[in-house]
Chains A and B, each alone.
Chain A
Amino acid sequence: MHFEGSVPIRASRERVWAFVTDPDQVGQCGPGVEKIEVMDPTHFKATAKVGIGFISARFVVNMEFAEQQPPDRALIKAHGQAPGSAVDATAEMRLSDGADGTTVMDWNADVNIAGTLASVGARLIEGTANKMIGKTFDCMRTKLEA
């Protein structure tokens, strides 16, 4: 599945960059995130409960900042597993200056979901994912624009 979008945020590019590359800060905006463990500056592990329809699973997701060009671009790779399900994702984020001092975040993500969650929740995945993405960005904007 491919997702992409563009989000204007009323905050400076440096502030946005610092926020999104800090697992402890950005992690709080991930829906269902229960725990964030920072392994090293580019590797961290999140535990998150994800529900699709009537199924929910607790995923342990290993994430890596595969590439970072501050304060312009970052590439994140993630691999997560839950009993019977797995998720593999690559997400790219580009920051640029928008009008009136805003920062524009252009992002895209390729997400592969395997196992029970994909099999049983197939018809609901895309809608659920869009909702989760929307919530994440709403949370980030609220925190950054505060």
Chain B
Amino acid sequence: MTTETTPRTSPEIGGMGHSVKRKEDPRFIRGAGEYIDDLVLPGMLWLDIVRSPYAHATIKGIDASEALKIPGVLAVITGADLEKAGLHWMPTLAGDKQMVLPTTTVMYQSQEVAAVVATSRYIAADGVAAVLVDYEPLPVIVDPHKALEPGAMVLRPDRAADKQTNRIWHWESGDAAKTDAALAAADVRVSEDIYIPRIHVASIETCGCIADWDAVRGQMTLHMTSQAPHAIRTVLALVSGLPEQNIRVKTHDMGGGFGGKVPVYPGYVLAVVASLTVGKPVKWIEDRSENLQADSFARDYHIHAELGATKAGKITSLKVKTIADHGYTDAAADPSKFPAGLFNVITGSYDFDNAFVEVDGVYTNKPPGGVAYRCSFRVTEAVHAIERMVDILAHDIGKDPAQLRMENFIQPEQFPYKTPTGWEYDSGNYGVALQKAMDMIGYDDLRKEQAAKRAKGELMGIGISSFTEIVGAGPSHDFDIIGLKMFDSCEIRVHPTGKVLARIGVQTTGQGHETTFAQIIAEELGFPVGDIKIEYGDTDTAPYGLGTYASRSTPVAGAATAMAARKIRDKARKLAAHLLEASEEDLEWEPGKFSVKGSPDRFKTIQEIAFAAYTNHPAGMEAGLEAVDYYDPPNLTFPFGSYICVVDIDKGTGQVHIRRFVAVDDCGNIINPMIVDGQIHGGLTMGLAPSLYEAITYDELGNNLAGTFMDYLVPTAVETPAWETGKTITPSPHHPLGAKGVGESATVGAPPAIANAVVDALWHLGVRNVDIPMTPQKIWAILHEKGIS
């Protein structure tokens, strides 16, 4: 393990370890990016959606006559229209089904009820306001616990006779009997209810598309905001019957994905149906409130956890029971075998033998979803729970939380480590990361300061989170989405003049792929990073891939890129041997050239070799210098880190002030340190968000009470503390570059550090848990109850 990145290539080449400036930024900074809303096609029409004010109601009738009288309104599409084509329901990625438009019943507030197609966005909106829908309100179930009560109204009577319940599925992992026995034998048991509230990715760009059907050519082009364009193409081919070669899905610049642009939303389908019907391009784009109210949510896990330990604080067992509120349909984007995602990584960074995890998915009258919001499939929920539980245990037995963690960590020599729920962690060095974070923040002095402040009645807390992530889905034996295995790909073409075009199966929503993937090729082949162009997101040109989410770009497509580059290097070696009249074995590679062993002045640069591939290739060898690789990872990757947060709480207002926050991350070998730091800064801010500010709540009628940025508080620079970052480097042993993925670590790791700090500040008052978001109102109410003011 090291903590420094030493590049192998020169700054001119700009391979791994160089903080190369982002190639995409000039167009973003100059306002020259191209987003869906910027795109206007000749003859384009607009689609806008009529949405339900009720969270549960019968539709008695839809009267579109007034809307159709508005000049410029061309059509109003209803569920009855779609039913004729069998398109009123669509499958979800999780194997459930979802309404495109309802025919009889609406299931959540803001659900799509009808679509208006018009000649402008404004006229479409006027048309939406003029559609009269006659609703008969029905009782509403907002609380998933009530949905599970005996006799509760069944929300999805369309399901099979043996599934007439609001329990969607039951999933479990680990050994129940062994865990119960270990818990019964434990000296110390701590249990807690922890709620991870529903939140929203709130990307700066909302979802949208332009469906462009060319009836003459039989060609459907779908410009859309999608994190997985190839999967969309295949699903569209299967559902519509259009030949897959005549479907082109194209993503453009995207203002954030964070999991929210993985699912298929009814708006996309409606635009496709409208374009197929009228033979013109049709654009649908959400407004902000539609995005916040109707798009897939994240989290919404009601967790009950119980931890067993010895008197000395050695953890022996963990039992977890969770209710997952999925809204009216399970539209989560988890891999098929994992209805609760990778939630059973909940044993975290700790070495113990007994764990049992069960999750029940439940229907309620809320929007569907369960997207992995900047977290690899429910890892945020798992990490929050275990890190909170470990902290409660430490406080209960009076041991320093850092010390308790150190004593329970899986040790470096134990890797590869098999967890009691079946994962095999490939690598880790947890104690070093925590010690580094403690040194950076001055942990011991802070504890002394806290004791002094507490004596004076001041509220200061220190919170730790030592998380282990599980990312890079995934190995094909376990991971697929709707049957599509979760490999990923890269195709590299080296042009005669030594310039490179590479296309990747993942795409970017702002992560900087145009830079980092070029750096991987620069690292492997020695072409200067500026000579390498990266393309993605166009299914007509990019090789098939499963898309960008779950921190899988670097672990899977990054590996494919390295492997494709190595295929090119292998051919380049043959070409160099031909040009140098030497045997392949006598050649030495350094980034950018092959030279003859012992004769360093006899060499051919990679550019000379590229030219020769088209002008002077040896007899019997194919011309050209291209390669493609489809990479099926042998295992997932396991980034980790230790975060420490210091908070001061205002006794008068309940406001939590984050004084310092140190984040030590280990994402293995680093491709671009600047981009990694950027990912961590952004991720920490997105971890701060649900800790203190963001939550989507509903009133008892199912009205979304956070439907605008007035009520859904996204932190800005004003609320964000000065993050302090550090690194340790433990390469993944199975990844070709030793990289692990970093996009989600900070979002996953930050909330429990902040929650642990707040509870640490309040523990002496008898506070064991505070659910996020820890708003001033919530903290003030606790302080008020405890007689503190």
The closest CB in chain B to the CB of A53 belongs to: B710
Other A-B contacts than A120-B708, A120-B711, 18 sampled, CB-CB below 8 A, are: A81-B133, A83-B128, A84-B51, A84-B129, A86-B137, A114-B54, A114-B702, A115-B53, A115-B109, A115-B703, A116-B707, A118-B53, A118-B701, A119-B109, A120-B707, A120-B710, A122-B699, A122-B711
Q: Mark B694-726, 1 if CB is under 8 A from A, else 0.
A: 000001011111011011000000000000000
* Contact indicator A119/B128 (Cβ below 8 Å): no
* Contact indicator B705/A116 (Cβ below 8 Å): no
Cα-based distance from A84 to B52 in the complex (angstroms)? 6
A65-92 with Cβ < 8 A to chain B: 81, 83-86, 88
Any B CB within 8 A of the CB of A112: yes
B584-629 with Cβ < 8 A to chain A: none
The closest CB in chain A to the CB of B125 belongs to: A83
Residues on A with C-beta less than 8 A from B704 are: 119
* Contact indicator B707/A114 (Cβ below 8 Å): no
Cα-based distance from A84 to B290 in the complex (angstroms)? 11
Report the minimum CB–CB distance from B775 to chain A (whole Å).
Answer: 14
Could you tell me which B residues sit within 8 Å of A by CB distance? 51-55, 109-110, 128-130, 132-133, 135, 137, 289, 293, 699, 701-705, 707-708, 710-711
Report the minimum CB–CB distance from B65 to chain A (whole Å).
Answer: 15
Residues on B with C-beta less than 8 A from A114 are: 53-55, 109, 137, 701-703
Cα-based distance from A76 to B541 in the complex (angstroms)? 65
* Contact indicator B293/A119 (Cβ below 8 Å): yes
A-B contact pairs, 22 of them (CB 8 A): A84-B51, A85-B53, A86-B53, A86-B54, A112-B137, A112-B701, A114-B54, A114-B55, A114-B702, A115-B51, A115-B703, A118-B53, A118-B699, A118-B703, A119-B289, A119-B293, A119-B704, A120-B710, A120-B711, A122-B703, A122-B705, A122-B711
Residues on A with C-beta less than 8 A from B51 are: 84, 115
Residues on A with C-beta less than 8 A from B110 are: 115, 119
Residues on A with C-beta less than 8 A from B132 are: 81
Residues on A with C-beta less than 8 A from B137 are: 86, 88, 112, 114
Assess A116 versus B289: contact at CB under 8 Å? Given A84-B51, A86-B135.
yes
Cα-based distance from A88 to B53 in the complex (angstroms)? 12
Cα-based distance from A116 to B289 in the complex (angstroms)? 9
What is the number of residues of chain A that contact chain B, defined by CB distance less than 8 Å?
Answer: 16
Cα-based distance from A85 to B390 in the complex (angstroms)? 46
Cα-based distance from A120 to B708 in the complex (angstroms)? 7
The closest CB in chain B to the CB of A122 belongs to: B705
* Contact indicator B289/A115 (Cβ below 8 Å): no
A108-128 with Cβ < 8 A to chain B: 112-116, 118-120, 122-123
Cα-based distance from A83 to B127 in the complex (angstroms)? 10
Residues on B with C-beta less than 8 A from A115 are: 51-54, 109-110, 703
The closest CB in chain A to the CB of B292 belongs to: A119
* Contact indicator B53/A116 (Cβ below 8 Å): yes
Cα-based distance from A12 to B293 in the complex (angstroms)? 50
* Contact indicator A83/B135 (Cβ below 8 Å): no
Report the minimum CB–CB distance from B56 to chain A (whole Å).
Answer: 10
Residues on B with C-beta less than 8 A from A122 are: 699, 703, 705, 711
Report the minimum CB–CB distance from B553 to chain A (whole Å).
Answer: 35
Cα-based distance from A84 to B287 in the complex (angstroms)? 14
Q: Which interface residue of A114, A118, A123 has the most chain B CB atoms within 10 A?
A: A114
Name the 5 nearest CB pairs between A and B, nearest first. A115-B53, A83-B129, A118-B703, A119-B707, A86-B53
Report the minimum CB–CB distance from B537 to chain A (whole Å).
Answer: 33
Residues on A with C-beta less than 8 A from B711 are: 120, 122-123
Report the minimum CB–CB distance from B295 to chain A (whole Å).
Answer: 14
Cα-based distance from A99 to B707 in the complex (angstroms)? 49
Cα-based distance from A114 to B699 in the complex (angstroms)? 10
The closest CB in chain A to the CB of B133 belongs to: A81
The closest CB in chain A to the CB of B54 belongs to: A114
Residues on B with C-beta less than 8 A from A84 are: 51, 53, 129
Residues on A with C-beta less than 8 A from B55 are: 114
Cα-based distance from A88 to B591 in the complex (angstroms)? 72
Cα-based distance from A88 to B704 in the complex (angstroms)? 17
Cα-based distance from A53 to B696 in the complex (angstroms)? 21
Residues on B with C-beta less than 8 A from A119 are: 109-110, 289, 293, 703-705, 707
Cα-based distance from A81 to B62 in the complex (angstroms)? 13
Cα-based distance from A118 to B703 in the complex (angstroms)? 6
Residues on A with C-beta less than 8 A from B701 are: 112-114, 118
Cα-based distance from A36 to B364 in the complex (angstroms)? 38
Report the minimum CB–CB distance from B21 to chain A (whole Å).
Answer: 41
Residues on B with C-beta less than 8 A from A116 are: 53, 289, 707
Cα-based distance from A113 to B137 in the complex (angstroms)? 11
Residues on A with C-beta less than 8 A from B708 are: 120
Residues on A with C-beta less than 8 A from B289 are: 116, 119-120
Report the minimum CB–CB distance from A92 to chain B (whole Å).
Answer: 19
Cα-based distance from A143 to B293 in the complex (angstroms)? 44
Residues on A with C-beta less than 8 A from B130 are: 83
Residues on B with C-beta less than 8 A from A113 are: 701, 703
The closest CB in chain B to the CB of A55 belongs to: B708
Cα-based distance from A133 to B703 in the complex (angstroms)? 23
Residues on B with C-beta less than 8 A from A112 are: 137, 701
Cα-based distance from A71 to B208 in the complex (angstroms)? 58
Cα-based distance from A64 to B707 in the complex (angstroms)? 32
Cα-based distance from A81 to B51 in the complex (angstroms)? 13
Report the minimum CB–CB distance from A16 to chain B (whole Å).
Answer: 32
The closest CB in chain A to the CB of B55 belongs to: A114
Cα-based distance from A81 to B53 in the complex (angstroms)? 9
The closest CB in chain B to the CB of A57 belongs to: B129
Report the minimum CB–CB distance from A118 to chain B (whole Å).
Answer: 4
Report the minimum CB–CB distance from B392 to chain A (whole Å).
Answer: 34
Cα-based distance from A83 to B130 in the complex (angstroms)? 7
The closest CB in chain A to the CB of B51 belongs to: A84
Cα-based distance from A113 to B55 in the complex (angstroms)? 11
Report the minimum CB–CB distance from A84 to chain B (whole Å).
Answer: 6
